[in-house]
A and B are shown apart, each in its own frame.
Chain A
């Protein structure tokens, strides 16, 4: 049971990484050639072959003092296999992907989830019987989520008991909150360099942001309307403003945020300084 929760947590994390970074096409985690979790677009056979090919390198990497990371840069994409807490995380990205962003995200998220699951289920992480395959239960995802949640609470109960309990009415149990309100992912934080935005018709309460970043937010939150962004400077000044995409296509992809002088004064920032931006989700 613990292992299922463990695999479930990792699998969901991998899927979230893909949601946040659309340039990530495949992610999976393996240990000693066994696939522990893979995202929904990665088949296990491919992952296993990759793990085997990687192990062949590992066996010959003593000269480097033990292997930590392998990065294969191809003409159309990149494969990165990195050691995280004795596990190996594989990330396949397109050529356009921001390597630093993806690496930062994966190397923060995965260890955090591993640590969290380790705290919740200390026995599972080193368990040899760790579920290596990800058998999706039949039925839709919501059913799966509910099942896992229930299992989480009842993990100590033997299977037979669960089977006998199942037909009994459980109407009195409150519905899990997850089903009542759709879960929204944490707003991703993006760092930008401040650029001046001037002109007669420029609204003083609106910043301009890279179109690609706005597209990522839309992809992440679907129909949820995002009308404003939260800005935070390195000095800790925060404020919420409206935003629009950058008009000048030459300025796109440069990691800049165009900001009217008034907003710069409010935030006590200036051209060339860094600000953290995240979508304001209500």
Chain B
């Protein structure tokens, strides 16, 4: 049985799809929930423009400018894929974080277990502090 629940809070869109529950799924869900709570807190910080959190079954997106949703989603997905490729080329091991700095803004992408996190922020925001808060 597949249940779908959709909740929308202002600019935040949460889509959760749950499969049959087993132990690992429960753990994954717990990680996802913890990350979502953490990111919701981080999103209140000055300079943070929003975040995208996704795994194979769920996604939470909260952006101050929802019009950039598609662009940001494509960028974060591509960044993690390309970074994976580059990390294999130079054998730097499992990716801990990817920082993409543009002329106006920057994005911090991470893969935490099965969850992929992208946080968008203004260029002068301290990304190291954000990184410590997401993956201490």
- Known contacts A63-B75, A64-B100, A92-B92, A72 near B106 by CB under 8 Å: no
Q: Is A50 positioned at the interface, with any CB of B under 8 Å from its CB?
A: yes
Task: Choose from A25, A63, A69, A75 the contact partner of B90 (Cβ within 8 Å).
Answer: A25
Which of B68, B75, B97: most chain A Cβ within 10 A? B75
**How many B residues touch the partner, as a band?**
20 to 34
Cross-chain contact B89 with A50 (CB below 8 angstroms):
yes
A89 to chain B, nearest CB (A): 14
Cross-chain contact A64 with B86 (CB below 8 angstroms):
no
Question: What separation, in Å, do the CA atoms of A70 and B82 have in the docked complex?
Answer: 11
What B residues does A92 contact at CB under 8 A? 90, 92
Cross-chain contact B85 with A53 (CB below 8 angstroms):
yes
What A residues does B92 contact at CB under 8 A? 72, 74-79, 92
What A residues does B104 contact at CB under 8 A? 64-65
- Name A186-213 residues within 8 Å CB distance of B: none
Q: Is B39 positioned at the interface, with any CB of A under 8 Å from its CB?
A: no
- Digitize B39-72: 1 where CB-to-A-CB distance is under 8 Å, 0 elsewhere: 0000000000000000000000000000010011
What B residues does A73 contact at CB under 8 A? 95-99
- Name A41-84 residues within 8 Å CB distance of B: 46, 49-50, 53-54, 56-57, 59-79
Q: Is B83 positioned at the interface, with any CB of A under 8 Å from its CB?
A: yes
What A residues does B93 contact at CB under 8 A? 74-77
What B residues does A25 contact at CB under 8 A? 90
Question: What separation, in Å, do the CA atoms of A159 and B103 have in the docked complex?
Answer: 45
Q: Is A26 positioned at the interface, with any CB of B under 8 Å from its CB?
A: yes
What B residues does A68 contact at CB under 8 A? 101-103
Task: Choose from B72, B95, B98 the contact partner of A63 (Cβ within 8 Å).
Answer: B72
Cross-chain contact A65 with B103 (CB below 8 angstroms):
yes
Cross-chain contact A56 with B82 (CB below 8 angstroms):
yes
Cross-chain contact B90 with A61 (CB below 8 angstroms):
no
Question: What separation, in Å, do the CA atoms of A50 and B86 have in the docked complex?
Answer: 6
Question: What separation, in Å, do the CA atoms of A76 and B90 have in the docked complex?
Answer: 10
Cross-chain contact B86 with A72 (CB below 8 angstroms):
yes
What A residues does B83 contact at CB under 8 A? 53, 70, 72
Question: What separation, in Å, do the CA atoms of A69 and B86 have in the docked complex?
Answer: 14
Which of A46, A62, A73, A92: most chain B Cβ within 10 A? A73
Q: Is B33 positioned at the interface, with any CB of A under 8 Å from its CB?
A: no
- Name B96-117 residues within 8 Å CB distance of A: 96-107
Cross-chain contact A64 with B91 (CB below 8 angstroms):
no
What B residues does A46 contact at CB under 8 A? 89-90
Task: Choose from A26, A53, A66, A74 the contact partner of B95 (Cβ within 8 Å).
Answer: A74
A79 to chain B, nearest CB (A): 5
Question: What separation, in Å, do the CA atoms of A90 and B103 have in the docked complex?
Answer: 18
Nearest residue, chain A, Cβ from B87: A74
B91 to chain A, nearest CB (A): 7
What A residues does B74 contact at CB under 8 A? 60
Q: Is B78 positioned at the interface, with any CB of A under 8 Å from its CB?
A: yes
Nearest residue, chain B, Cβ from A77: B92
- Known contacts A46-B90, A60-B75, A61-B75, A70 near B68 by CB under 8 Å: no
Question: What separation, in Å, do the CA atoms of A29 and B74 have in the docked complex?
Answer: 26
Cross-chain contact A64 with B107 (CB below 8 angstroms):
yes
Nearest residue, chain A, Cβ from B99: A71
- The 12 sampled A-B contact pairs (Cβ below 8 Å) are A50-B90, A53-B83, A53-B85, A64-B106, A70-B79, A70-B98, A72-B83, A72-B95, A75-B94, A77-B90, A78-B92, A79-B90
- On A, residues with C-beta under 8 Å from B are 25-26, 46, 49-50, 53-54, 56-57, 59-79, 92
13 additional contacts, CB 8 Å, given A61-B100, A61-B102? A50-B86, A50-B89, A53-B83, A53-B86, A56-B78, A68-B102, A70-B99, A70-B101, A72-B87, A73-B98, A74-B95, A75-B96, A79-B90
